[in-house]
Amino acid sequence: MTNTIIWTVAILTCLGLLLSLVLFWVASKFKVEEDPRIDEIEKTLPGANCGGCGFAGCRAFADAAVKAGNLDKNYCPVGGSEVMNKVAAILGCEVKESAPMVAVVRCNGSCANRPKINDYQGAESCKVKAALYGGDTGCLFGCLGCGDCVAACAFGALSMNPETGLPVVDESKCTACGKCVAACPKRIIELRAKGPRGMRVFVSCTNKDKGPVARKACSAACIGCGLCEKTCTHGAITVADNVAYIDFAKCKLCRECEAVCPTGAIHGVGFPKPLDKEAVKKRIADRKARAAEAAKAAVQPEVKKEESNG
Amino acid sequence: MAKLTFSIGGIHPADKKLAKDCKIETLPLPPKVYVSMFQHLGAMAKPVVTVGDSVKAGQIIAEPGGFISAYIHSPVSGKVTAIGPRKDLAGFNQMHIEIEVQGDEWAEGIDLSPELVTAIPEDRDFILDRIKMNGVVGLGGATFPTHVKLNPPPGKTADCLILNGAECEPFLTSDFRILLERTDEIVVGAAIMQKVLGGCPCVIGIEENKPEAIEAVRASVNRLGYPGIRVATLRKRYPQGGEKQLIDAVMHRQVRSGGLPIDVGAVVQNVATSLAVYEAVQKNKPLVTNTLTVTGDVIDPARQHNYLFRIGMPLSYIAEYAGGVPEGTVKIVSGGPMMGKAIANLDAATVKGSSSILYLGSSTLRHAATPCISCGRCADACPMGLEPFLLKRLYDAQDIEALEKNAAQDCIECGCCQYSCPAYVPLLDNIRMAKAQVMGVIRARNAKK
């Protein structure tokens, strides 16, 4: 009995040692030489493997960055500039500064603004719902409310507000990876610059129907009237397909568009004070009056000249 | 003779042919009709009239937008008042031509007399041209252009024409009514299609729950004496009227995955299409009318109807004429309760393929889904031999490769899986999405080749 145990232990120990030698030999013989910087960069990255950078995961990002030798085409939206500076230090190159972005839900079709015209009973998925029919409200472009974006978010930054039936972005958690943008079949969510101190202005509607149709479906819809486009002195707003769009690179956050929008489709967020619509409207009126006077003054001398000639 | 049926899967929903004794009534004309440019499978039709034009009933108002597309004719006489987007019954915007009805004048060359014309034209091309120019599409549900289907690609011949009179969907009775009331015309239509397909035999398949129709068609076939037409009694089983199921039942042949019926020598046409072919070829009358059933489980028997409608009539107009939406209705469906679509917008216009307005009560509401218990009932019920529970799991995991391997693209969307699921899992909703994804991948691959 004791003999058997001793023999078993001895044989297994020898076998183990022998195989470990084989494994050691194989490991050294077939070793893949890899740039140690890849591991280093991977450790620096957040490790969420979200794919927000456009690569399959953090390791693929690190691999591509080391192969390229620079960071021109690589940016980790989750880590932001802090992480990117560390990565740049490892690679010994410059990093392009990029403005921090955030996901913005461009629909304000809450239950109050956008009445339901039927009840949906199919699978709880925006993708399925969008393929089946025009939706349970009169708006063909708005949020479907089944929460595909919430399910797609790996950071818990999105949640459905039961009162409005719309998704809400938690800015502190949003990493602008773009997963929700891809998940939304109506393409409502957009990545926009966070803006200075979180202040930004955007059009919270994507309805391409003509004004009356859009307004009938939702009281907060952009009707494409173009008032904002005319008011904007920075050329940041364009109206195409009956819906306005604010270019965040050009927007100077004057909030004049927000004040003149007749349906309240333009939203300003992150501002310290609520918008005083009347004051802003007065400011616009004053500016227009001054411009008209200036135009008059510019025209009058010519008229006089003509008279003197005559 | 033995009753024929397909070999695997299928379910037995309650019959509920409540409107089967209601004769077909002709609907009066509404003040306006809205003719959709998208009432067939394939490319959208292109309008050839402009706002302000006067049109006569039966005049071409839109031409095909591609090879697989169809002509569209004005269903009424009057004036074109608008051309633009309008919401269809799913709530999506589609191009419609709006026509204000003035009188009821038909275009020249259309024979409106009720006399039966039994002499079949000799020239095959003449027949196909008539079918094409009169905008005939398959009226069994898919609205595939008939002239394309009747003209098999070179090297492929039809061994059998199957006329589909199964009407396996519960509630629907429009096919049954035309089989009773327009029997001879349907049989002549079948003989015309036989002629086009090179004289192959024709089998008219009718489910056993319509003995009157079987008798009537048999008598008509004997009386008219066309060679090679016979009537087959099919067992009552859903989806007996599915194209592939019908081929299996009648010819005992199976269409390979990704294949077409013509690959096994079969051409399947609905009986309503046969009637449209008869009218197009013998009477030169375009497809501007069809039969529709107004029925449901919340509507009292006196208010059930079978109507002959003109395409473009708003569903709400027909519903109003039939006495309004009955009390207790929670869902209005166009098409049968199994494959039909819930109507999101009752103002939508009827199209060539409209077959019913179905008022359903609260018993048809969906139950909340619970987790799959892996009982396998969906796999038993699937007439295509798929495993719906597996397809749903693969779709959730977004494994497109595996979905293709498991033939998600073969799903005929009959709904047997969801009907038989004891956990109320929305199987079909997900498989339909999976099918679309797989089809997209297959198309992209074929385009690369």
Residues A164 and A215 in one domain: no
A223 belongs to a structural domain: yes
Taking Cα atoms as reference points, which of B76, B91, B25, B89 lies closest to residue B294? B25
Of A123, A128, A134, the CB nearest to B90: A134
Query: Per the CB < 8 Å rule, is A135 touching B91?
Result: yes
Task: Answer for the pair A218, A109: CB distance below 8 angstroms, yes or no.
Answer: yes
Q: What is the pLDDT of residue A101?
A: 87
Chain B residues within an 8 Å CB radius of A117? 344-345
Three-state secondary-structure class, residue A185:
coil
How far apart are the C-alpha atoms of B179 and B24, rounded to whole Å?
11
Q: What residues are paired with A168 via a beta bridge?
A: A159
Query: Per the CB < 8 Å rule, is B429 touching A140?
Result: no
A123 reaches B (C-beta below 8 A): yes
**Amino acid making up residue B45:** A
A30 belongs to a structural domain: no
- Chain B: give the shortest CA distance to residue A199, in Å: 36
- Residue given tokens 């087959």 in the structure block: B232
Query: Per the CB < 8 Å rule, is B426 touching A140?
Result: no
Q: What is the pTM of this model?
A: 0.84
| Interface predicted TM-score (ipTM) of this complex, two decimals | 0.86
A28 belongs to a structural domain: no
Count of other CB atoms within 10 angstroms of residue A307: 8
Residues A86 and A44 in one domain: yes
Task: Count, in order, helices (H) and strands (E) of chain A.
Answer: 11, 8
A229 belongs to a structural domain: yes
Q: What is the pLDDT of residue B364?
A: 86
How far apart are the C-alpha atoms of A294 and B21, rounded to whole Å?
82
3-state helix, strand, coil in chain A (%, to 5): 40, 10, 45
How far apart are the C-alpha atoms of B311 and B289, rounded to whole Å?
6
Of B345, B430, B436, the CB nearest to A123: B430
Q: What is the pLDDT of residue A310?
A: 38
Residues A183 and A205 in one domain: no
A255 belongs to a structural domain: yes
A309 belongs to a structural domain: no
Query: Per the CB < 8 Å rule, is A123 touching B90?
Result: no
Q: Under 8 Å CB-to-CB from A276, ≥6 apart: which residues?
A: none
A127 reaches B (C-beta below 8 A): yes
Chain B residues within an 8 Å CB radius of A132? 90, 341, 429
Taking Cα atoms as reference points, which of A234, A220, A269 lies closest to residue A104? A269
Query: Per the CB < 8 Å rule, is B429 touching A128?
Result: yes
Cα B353 from chain centroid?
5
Q: How far is CA B346 from CA B89, B334, B343, in A?
A: 7, 10, 6
B433 reaches A (C-beta below 8 A): yes
B426: closest chain A residue by CA: A123
Query: Per the CB < 8 Å rule, is B90 touching A127?
Result: no
Q: The CATH number of the domain where A121 resides is what? A: 3.30.70.20
Domain end: A192, A215, A250, which one? A192
Measured CA angle at B306 (ends B301, B311), to 5 deg: 140
B345 reaches A (C-beta below 8 A): yes
Is the bond leading into B145 cis (omega within 30 degrees of zero)?
Answer: no
- Chain B: give the shortest CA distance to residue A105, in Å: 23
- Chain A: give the shortest CA distance to residue B52, in Å: 23
Residues A203 and A284 in one domain: yes
Residues A83 and A113 in one domain: no
Q: What residues are paired with B445 via a beta bridge?
A: none
- Chain A: give the shortest CA distance to residue B320, in Å: 19
pLDDT tens per residue across span A186-239 = 999 999 988 888 899 999 999 998 989 899 999 999 999 999 999 999 999 999
Domain of A60, in residue numbers: 36-91
Computed over every residue of chain A, the mean pLDDT equals 88
Q: What is the pLDDT of residue B279?
A: 95
Q: Mark which residues 263-322 of B lie under 8 Å from A by CB.
A: none
Domain end: A146, A161, A192, which one? A192
Of A123, A131, A134, the CB nearest to B344: A134
> Looking at residues A273-290, what average pLDDT do you find?
89
A7 reaches B (C-beta below 8 A): no
Count of other CB atoms within 10 angstroms of residue B169: 26
Residues A222 and A280 in one domain: yes
Residues A106 and A85 in one domain: no
B157 reaches A (C-beta below 8 A): no
* Number of domains forming the structure of chain A: 3
Residues A203 and A289 in one domain: yes
Domain end: A192, A225, A259, which one? A192
Chain B residues within an 8 Å CB radius of A135? 91, 344
- Residue given tokens 């059998």 in the structure block: B160
Q: Which residues of chain B have pLDDT under 50?
A: none
B223 reaches A (C-beta below 8 A): no
How far apart are the C-alpha atoms of B382 and B413, rounded to whole Å?
10
pLDDT tens per residue across span A74-128 = 888 888 778 888 888 888 887 776 778 899 999 999 888 999 888 888 888 999 9
Share of chain A above pLDDT 90, in %: 44
Task: Answer for the pair B380, B420: CB distance below 8 angstroms, yes or no.
Answer: yes
pLDDT at A32 over 90: no
Q: The CATH number of the domain where A73 resides is what? A: 1.10.15.40
How far apart are the C-alpha atoms of B72 and B137, rounded to whole Å?
10
B84 reaches A (C-beta below 8 A): no
Residues A253 and A187 in one domain: no
Residues A85 and A132 in one domain: no
Query: Per the CB < 8 Å rule, is A133 touching B433?
Result: no
**Amino acid making up residue A80:** G
A118 reaches B (C-beta below 8 A): yes
A123 belongs to a structural domain: yes
Total beta-carbon pairs less than 8 A apart between chain A and chain B: 46
pLDDT tens per residue across span A232-278 = 999 999 999 999 999 988 999 989 999 999 999 999 988 988 888 88
Which pairing describes strands B72-73 and B60-63: parallel, antiparallel, or unpaired? antiparallel
B365 reaches A (C-beta below 8 A): yes
Tokens of B9: 């899967």
Chain B residues within an 8 Å CB radius of A127? 433
A268 belongs to a structural domain: yes
Edge-to-edge strand list for the sheet holding B266-270? B229-234, B202-207, B160-165, B266-270
Query: Per the CB < 8 Å rule, is B90 touching A131?
Result: no
- Chain B: give the shortest CA distance to residue A192, in Å: 28
Residues A77 and A166 in one domain: no
Tokens of A237: 């707003």
Query: Per the CB < 8 Å rule, is B92 touching A125?
Result: no
Measured CA angle at A76 (ends A75, A78), to 5 deg: 150
